[in-house]
Amino acid sequence: MGIVTLPIGRPGPSVQEILASDVNPAPAVMREESPAQGLGTEDVAIARYFSKAWHDQEVEKVWRKTWQLACRVEDIPNVGDHVVYEIVHDSLIVVRAGPDEIRAYVNSCLHRGTQLRTEGGCVKQFRCPFHGFTWSLQGKLTEVPGAWDFPQMEGRDFNLPEAKVGVWGGFVFVNFDADCEPLDSYLEILPEHFKAFRLEDRWKAAHVAKIMPCNWKLAMEAFIESYHVPYAHPQVLAYYGDQNTQYDVWPDVRHVSRMISVQGVPSPGVGEVSDELVISHMRRDMPFYGGAPIEVGPGETPRAKLAARARDKIGRSSGNDMSQLSDTESLDLIEYLLFPNMVPWGGQSLPVCYRFRPLGDNPEQSIMEIMFLFSKAPDGSHPEPAPIRWLGIDEPWSSAPELGSAAMVADQDTDNLKRIQRGLRASKKPGVTLAAYQESRIRHYHQTLDAYMAK
């Protein structure tokens, strides 16, 4: 296993060189750079993308052992509000059991196993629709119709079994493992990095889920590298730094990685691009930057002018003073990964969070979700969080207008993912070959996955 260092021929300017010249300086966490070291160059076995045996082991060793995003806090603001979180065979009722208490109950009646809830809502208790066994919001059994006929229940614990619950950044996490490590340590460096981004001060403005024609890991991998951008998303190259994206994998950090892709500057691979073209293409693809013409004067850059436009629009829409927001938080794609399946973004440019899950018990289909998290008003108020919109496997992301320009990019990736899943099935090569730097986050991810699978 060799040491991997930054390639000498990596195109520039680097992300750090661009951030160093920004008008509004970047926060300290954005000035870090940690290229992967010592991850090796071995192929990753393709069977893990379609093997039912591998999938079954993931259920036992990953989905039943790791912390997973279940919902946002604002999804369950009132006592009795709940969502149903499902992963393969497991189902939880994630409920606000008290004003400051969130619990997650196994979604199964202790009489004959009926699911207590099939969808979210607000209730005062959980009553089985089959025979009427009833539990309180604290999970206590409160009613047994015909209790005289169940002498075997005397002295037994019939409280609803619970999963572990934790909250960070306005997200509610669950873990099925009673002996799991605490969420605080599982998150590693993530809370420190997101101090500047304050996801707890956001609300969910959009939530779209789509059935994807591929394994959940394939779907996620398409969104954690920019190596594919020149070929899958060529329309963005006038204003998007693809080849000079920064990839960070920190030593001894198991669950977290990051990439930073700059915007408002052309790809290093397209040669000379005029200031006018940078701005016009960005405004073409992202109506957010519309409005009055953006003029670049002497000594100014398209990046700085676009950042100023973004600060103004974000500030006016949220009612917050964004004048000091850094250029990178205003413009750039700042994307983290939390193992196994959550992809939260920093900054305000595209305030996104992705979640990826298997679709039921099928290793060759999955669920991908896109959430937009907008800033709350200065007093903490916000509109009602968006309900989830479901798209079928044949419905494009563009069917959800609330996603704006992000839908076009997701549709381009989905078309490729269908071909990748089929191509891996047809391949006679037993593994996929990964770039040492540009796909280092994928390799790091699989090494963490291997560690869980080996337990």
Read off the CATH number of the domain in which 93 is found: 2.102.10.10
Whether residue 60 is contained in a domain is answered as no
User: Does residue 356 share a domain with residue 258?
Assistant: yes
User: Does residue 31 share a domain with residue 158?
Assistant: no
Q: If you write DSSP's letter for every residue of 295-336 in order, what string do you get?
A: ---TT--HHHHHHHHHHHHHHHHHTS--TT--HHHHH-EEEE
pLDDT in tens, 32-55: 999 999 999 999 999 999 999 999
| pTM attached to this predicted model | 0.96
| Count of domains forming the chain | 2
User: Does residue 377 share a domain with residue 336?
Assistant: yes
pLDDT in tens, 374-428: 999 999 999 999 999 999 999 999 999 999 989 999 999 999 999 999 999 999 9
* pLDDT band of 271, cuts 50, 70, 90: confident
User: Does residue 144 share a domain with residue 230?
Assistant: no
User: Does residue 91 share a domain with residue 38?
Assistant: no
What is the rounded average pLDDT of the residues 156-163?
Answer: 96
Per-residue confidence (pLDDT) for residue 9, from 0 to 100: 79
User: Does residue 203 share a domain with residue 164?
Assistant: no
- Mean of the per-residue pLDDT values of the chain: 95
Q: Which of 175, 206, 241 is the last residue of a domain?
A: 175
* Boundaries of domain holding 169: 68-175
Per-residue confidence (pLDDT) for residue 3, from 0 to 100: 43
Whether residue 29 is contained in a domain is answered as yes
Whether residue 326 is contained in a domain is answered as yes
User: Does residue 342 share a domain with residue 288?
Assistant: yes
pLDDT exceeding 70 applies to what percent of the chain?
Answer: 98
For position 337, which CATH number holds? 3.30.530.20
Whether residue 181 is contained in a domain is answered as no
Whether residue 105 is contained in a domain is answered as yes
Rounded to the nearest 5 degrees, what angle is found at the Cα of 213, between the Cα atoms of 104 and 343?
A: 50
pLDDT at 2 over 60: no
Bridging pattern class, strands 81-87 and 90-98:
antiparallel
pLDDT in tens, 66-118: 999 999 999 999 999 999 999 999 999 999 999 999 999 999 999 999 999 99
